[in-house]
Structure 1
């Protein structure tokens, strides 16, 4: 963890979920100016966008230096992505595995578009670093979450925009339990509590009951992954304390 800020500024892909909130804290611990970007693409769980402002205010309140570094928030409409996607995240359909072995929650091209639009905005805002929550450890096989994909896209963006962007994926090689641990390391129990109470991960867009790990339907793959990660994280804490 780093507490001395680096120059260049960062733009965080900030959905309002557990992973992107952890990435926002990671960026605030490192960069002198941090802006956030969310996308409205007709996602079924659009309620996540409503969590973003609460989370931004909550995370700024955790540390004075984070409040000073947190800059503007941006939201871009990508309706076309939802229109061309026949997936369980953009249609009211049951979550299942599609032909080829990928879950039908995979939105083709989503992260490629997100990072391309993020780079275009960063270009205008004079930001050097792009931060996203892509992860190969808990990624359901999504090809646009792979480290090779992100590295290739960084090369393409730098060539196509003639800028030296750096794409950061701090969660790439850690699982959900370690993501909870990273949040605790960055912002203490207060950040863990903020993520539990105010972030949204559920694919169905259901706030639902308040579980130990947060709100959600408790049944979809995103809720299941978050719940199992939280259970492993708290069990490790309990073992260490005994």
Structure 2
């Protein structure tokens, strides 16, 4: 690891992917801070759950607790005001012309990462970790690897500071993301840390687009039928199926 890139800021929503990214960062970097955004999202229960996840991580993984620094939440109502999407309005989730679902919030990841870089500049952090993924995703253009590489260049040039956008989930499907969480937890604590981190993610994280915390499934809480729940459930089914001993 470069001497200049020992500290990281994790885009942390409180969902499965961002929690796995946080565990990854706590394994890899010496000091880790987190950032979340309140943009009027329909599933704003995630803002409550992210605090539950942080508390549970600190309690269960002592080795990580010492690396886990300040948490930041930015109010971003303007994004909700200009977005007419199923993530910011009480409308049915559907696929739009061109194949992109109406859960896509235009500019969201671009804005999140730009604001994260501005905060990182002030906090002396040079790595920004985000859970965007081009393997299991909904066709969102701001989750693509090319987008992340272009934005890394733009932020580095625009702020005259070398930034690294670290995307550990970019080429993983949801089953592999569950497995990564297990492996990271096990690395942190060989005495059951892997299973405990998977249980923590299952119980405390929130992914459901509708903000449902009333229905409990083997993979966690959610409505069970929105695209986010279906993706998480498929990944869990693949991850938890019995492995061949051969």
Q: How much is the aligned-residue C-alpha RMSD, in angstroms? A: 1.5
Aligned length: 237
The SS at the match of 2:237 is helix
Q: 2: distance between equivalents of 1:219 and 1:239?
A: 27
Structure-2 residue corresponding to 1:216: 222
Which ranges of structure 2 fall in alignment gaps of 5 or more residues?
A: 186-193
Structure-1 residue corresponding to 2:32: 34
Q: 2: distance between equivalents of 1:118 and 1:65?
A: 25
Question: Which residues in structure 2 correspond to 1:34-53 (within 5 Å)?
Answer: 34-53=32-51
Structure-2 residue corresponding to 1:59: 57
Q: 2:210–2:226: 8 Å Cα contact kept in structure 1?
A: yes
Q: 2: distance between equivalents of 1:109 and 1:241?
A: 46
Q: 2:46–2:205: 8 Å Cα contact kept in structure 1?
A: yes
The TM-score normalised by the length of structure 1 is: 0.95
Q: 1: distance between equivalents of 2:117 and 2:195?
A: 33
Matched, 1:198 2:204: yes
Structure-1 residue corresponding to 2:237: 231
Matched, 1:181 2:179: yes
Q: 2: distance between equivalents of 1:239 and 1:8?
A: 36
The SS at the match of 1:61 is helix
Which ranges of structure 1 fall in alignment gaps of 5 or more residues?
A: none
Cα 1:6–1:18 shift into 2, 3 Å: farther
Structure-2 residue corresponding to 1:207: 213
CA displacement at 1:6 relative to structure 2: 8.9
Q: 1:6–1:32: 8 Å Cα contact kept in structure 2?
A: no
Structure-2 residue corresponding to 1:106: 104
